[in-house]
Amino acid sequence: MEMQLLTKEEKQKLQEHLKTMIDTRPSIAARIAEAREKGDLKENADYHAAREELALLEARIKDLELRLRFASVVDPNDIPADMVFLGSTVKVRDLKTKDMELFRLVGEIGKGSFDTDSDVMEVSAKSPLGEALMRARVGQTVRVNVPRGEIRYEIIAVS
């Protein structure tokens, strides 16, 4: 597995999520035991559903433990102030339309926490846009290949 860059907050969220999943194990095990007491396991839908749920949970726990094992926390103090990195909010200008946009570069855990009332769009560091923005500096132009062609953005500000 490749190393995954995370902010301190993203790593903490992953650890909390892992703890929640681990804490769920006993309740699923209790459901399996309860369903087992009902008798014939071949026709026992509750038993099979609980076993499947436990198997899925165990797979997610192992995946999350592996991700955390290979995670590297990025300290924002080690990054130059004018460089885009995880956790950065970057203001860009589309060079074709002259529209200004705000993006926040997030790791995989950050995806999905997007606030729909915000003017900032969260972008995964592994997406084409995220890869183009990563390590870009104020004043630099980045190119992003999208299905409809190429978009060029000028980096205006980083915070």
Q: What percent of the chain has pLDDT over 90?
A: 45
Tens-digit pLDDT string for the chain (159 aa): 667 777 788 889 899 999 999 999 999 999 999 888 877 777 788 888 999 999 999 999 999 999 899 888 877 667 777 888 888 899 999 999 999 999 998 876 555 444 554 788 999 888 899 899 988 999 999 999 988 889 999 999 998
Give the Cα separation of 11 and 74 in Å (integer): 10
Can you say how many angstroms the Cα of residue 90 is from the centroid of all Cα atoms in its chain? 18
pTM for this entry: 0.60
Residue 52 structure tokens = 């499947």
pLDDT on residue 60: 94
Which CATH code fits 4-73?
A: 1.10.287.180
Alpha-carbon distances, residue 87 vs 7, 146, 147, 149 (angstroms) = 7, 23, 26, 27
pLDDT on residue 76: 66
Yes or no: domain 76-158 corresponds to CATH 3.10.50.30:
yes
pLDDT on residue 114: 47
Topology alike, domains 4-73 and 76-158: no
Alpha-carbon distances, residue 28 vs 17, 32, 54, 58 (angstroms) = 17, 6, 6, 11
Phi, psi angle pair for 158, to nearest 5°: -130, 135
pLDDT on residue 2: 67
Q: Which helix (H) or strand (E) holds 124?
A: strand 120-124
pLDDT on residue 24: 96
Structural domain spans, the chain: 4-73, 76-158
